[in-house]
Chain A
Amino acid sequence: MAANPATLAHQIVRRPGADSLLPALLRVALIAISLGFLAALLIAPLATVFITAFAHGIGAYLDSFADADTRSAVRLTLLTAAVVVPLNTVFGLAAAWCIAKFEFKGKSFFVTLIDLPLAVSPVISGMLFVLLFGLQGWFGEWLQDHDIAIVFALPGIILATMFVTFPYVAREVIPLMQQLGNDEEEAAITMGAGAWMTFFRVTLPKIRWGLVYGVILCNARAMGEFGAVSVVSGHIRGLTNTMPLHIEILYNEYNFVGAFAVASLLTLLALVTLVIKTVVERRAERGR
């Protein structure tokens, strides 16, 4: 019985047919179920986005971006992301440094607060800022007296987007920093490197791929956020409509080509995000 008992026994008790046919059938059935499920729920809607967008030809597709309101929606979305993503990146890095590099009391409370936006309904996220800055909110009267508009204006959209998307960078970077440890940073500091130099020359190169994915994901969510922004935006055409909100308006007006044309841009963004994620994961695997 020197041979591997499992292999040996496997050869003895093989019942004819039972071992090869049933697993093969099961295999085919399970693959078919998986592909069928994903085809109906994932692939069909994705294909629909592009099929409907190009239903009246490429000319009609391009024409939908000539519309002034559509252009201003694209501009507003780009502007929002340009403000939100850098701020959330700085926050994510600061939070990760503080949480991964140090041991302090109340750390788990910090981590819980960072995860919170992921657990709260986007509608509630948006409502938080209406309750603070809306007309009948806590600061509503004061803001009106001083002629400052937050809700139904750009600052509200930025705040709501920031709330919904700030966990993404932090959650990518924190586990990475924890896993990599403090040894190299401690060595750099002990040998006289400055704090910023240690961060940029030692820490940043180690975490850069995780950071890239966190930033890309944060950007995709920032550009695509619907529920929270819908609550604070006020849906003013050409002024406070982001791309997802504009999709809703066009769709409700039965302008399907226009709605899906805007949607196709966001779908492409999501596809690019997934490609970058796959590349980053491969690099991480190779690095190990």
Chain B
Amino acid sequence: MPRSGFRQPSVLPGFGLTFGFTTFFLSALVLIPLAALVVTGASMPWREFVHVVTSARALGSYRLSFGASLIAASVNLVFGFIIAWTLVRYEFPGRKLIDALIDMPFALPTAVSGIALTTVFAPNGFLGHYLAQAGVQVAYTALGVVIALTLIGMPFMVRTMQPAIAEVQRELEDAAEILGAGRLYAFRRIILPTVVPAMLTGFTLAFARAVGEYGSVIFIAGNLPRKTEITPLLIVIHLQQFDYQGAAALGLVMLGISFTVLLAINLLHTWGRRRFVATGR
């Protein structure tokens, strides 16, 4: 076998064909286009690059995109946990239907959820007019962006949390209660250590998806420069003005910040696992 150093021998056929096809497909569709992004962004003169990515408009868009994504993922941390807990632990009419509907934001086109959320939360909308009476405006504000991103991130959080909650050993909870532990203490020492890794994974997934989200946000956001304009929209605006380099530069910055945040969360994940697993059991 000429390739024996590269792959372990197997009696199964088709390695050459499928490996070749996969490599070709991935190169044509992913590697070459990514190279175009990196080269286009990097071929810009450095001073111009800095000018584009640190303009007041760009900085405002990062603040909104990353800030709203962090808030939305945090909201999901709380509500995603409660929903997952309810679906795993409690039996109630309609539970299976609700469980199936959790995946809706995965399957629903983002443009559809965008116009539907805007209609619901507009000042004359079904929920929006109650909120307007209370003096809260959701549509066309940063709050609307947070709501859209919360919906988009929700399934990631619930779906990663469900198996973790199912894994919590109820015998341990019972034992803690018998031994006189308070509910909060038992929650902190028995349930949390089991679900914290899943919480962080869900948070990461929800955040990563939210940062890049476009379709469901642009309808409900006001799209005012520096106030309610997300970074993906700013990229689209650059592209529409045929400023490919500026768009590529912003794209690179976005990928860079996302990567850094995800790396930080992963480090936190490792730290959390060590800490909670070491002391919690």
CA distance A90 to B125 in the complex (A): 45
> Interface size of A by Cβ–Cβ distance < 8 Å?
98
Residue of A nearest to B115 (CB): A251
Interface residues as binary, B110-145 with A (CB distance below 8 Å gives 1, 0 otherwise): 111101110110000111000000000000000000
Interface residues as binary, B90-125 with A (CB distance below 8 Å gives 1, 0 otherwise): 101000001011111111111111011101100001
Question: With A6-B178, A98-B22, A259-B115 in contact, do A132 and B90 touch (Cβ < 8 Å)?
Answer: no
Q: Which of B59-109 contact A (CB under 8 A)?
A: 79, 82-83, 85-87, 90, 92, 98, 100-109
Q: Does B190 contact A (CB under 8 A)?
A: no
Binding site secondary structure of chain B = helix
Q: Does B32 contact A (CB under 8 A)?
A: yes
- CB of A166 within 8 A of CB of B244, answer no
- CB of A131 within 8 A of CB of B40, answer yes
- CB of A195 within 8 A of CB of B14, answer yes
Q: Which residues of the other chain, A, contact B21 by a CB distance below 8 angstroms?
A: 90-91, 94
- CB of A52 within 8 A of CB of B119, answer yes
- CB of B90 within 8 A of CB of A31, answer yes
Q: Does A76 contact B (CB under 8 A)?
A: no
Q: Which residues of the other chain, A, contact B98 by a CB distance below 8 angstroms?
A: 34-35, 38
- CB of A120 within 8 A of CB of B103, answer no
Q: Does B248 contact A (CB under 8 A)?
A: yes
- CB of A137 within 8 A of CB of B214, answer no
- CB of A121 within 8 A of CB of B111, answer no
Q: Which residues of the other chain, B, contact A190 by a CB distance below 8 angstroms?
A: 11
Residue of A nearest to B234 (CB): A123
Q: Which of A208-234 contact B (CB under 8 A)?
A: 217, 220, 223-227, 230-231
Q: Which of B220-279 contact A (CB under 8 A)?
A: 232-233, 235-236, 239, 242, 244, 247-248, 251, 254-255, 258
Question: With A122-B212, A124-B37, A131-B40 in contact, do A247 and B112 touch (Cβ < 8 Å)?
Answer: yes
Q: Does B2 contact A (CB under 8 A)?
A: no
Q: Which of A108-141 contact B (CB under 8 A)?
A: 110, 113-114, 116-117, 119-124, 127-132, 134-138
- CB of B8 within 8 A of CB of A103, answer yes
> Which of A46, A110, A127 touches B22 (beta carbons < 8 Å)?
A110
Interface residues as binary, A235-262 with B (CB distance below 8 Å gives 1, 0 otherwise): 0000000011101100100001001100
Residue of B nearest to A37 (CB): B79
- CB of A127 within 8 A of CB of B29, answer no
CA distance A34 to B76 in the complex (A): 11
| Chain B residues touching A, range | 35 or more
Q: Which residues of the other chain, B, contact A226 by a CB distance below 8 angstroms?
A: 109-111, 214-215
Residue of A nearest to B16 (CB): A98
Q: Which residues of the other chain, A, contact B180 by a CB distance below 8 angstroms?
A: 13
Q: Which residues of the other chain, A, contact B116 by a CB distance below 8 angstroms?
A: 45-46, 48-49, 260, 263
Q: Does B1 contact A (CB under 8 A)?
A: no
> Which of B25, B34, B110, B117 touches A128 (beta carbons < 8 Å)?
B34
- CB of A122 within 8 A of CB of B117, answer no
Residue of B nearest to A185 (CB): B12
- Distance between B1 CB and nearest chain A CB, rounded to angstroms: 12
CA distance A188 to B36 in the complex (A): 45
- CB of B18 within 8 A of CB of A97, answer yes
- CB of B235 within 8 A of CB of A127, answer yes
Q: Does A204 contact B (CB under 8 A)?
A: no
- Distance between A264 CB and nearest chain B CB, rounded to angstroms: 9
Q: Does A142 contact B (CB under 8 A)?
A: no
- CB of A105 within 8 A of CB of B31, answer no
- CB of A220 within 8 A of CB of B17, answer no
Q: Which residues of the other chain, A, contact B183 by a CB distance below 8 angstroms?
A: 22
10 A-B pairs with least C-beta separation: A121-B212, A224-B109, A128-B33, A45-B116, A104-B7, A227-B214, A226-B215, A98-B18, A270-B107, A195-B13
7 contacts between A and B (CB under 8 A): A42-B154, A48-B119, A102-B12, A122-B110, A123-B232, A127-B235, A270-B107
B residues with a Cβ closer than 8 A to A are 6-8, 10-15, 17-19, 21-22, 25-26, 29-34, 36-37, 40, 79, 82-83, 85-87, 90, 92, 98, 100-113, 115-117, 119-120, 125-127, 147, 150-151, 154, 171, 174-175, 178, 180, 183, 208, 211-215, 219, 232-233, 235-236, 239, 242, 244, 247-248, 251, 254-255, 258
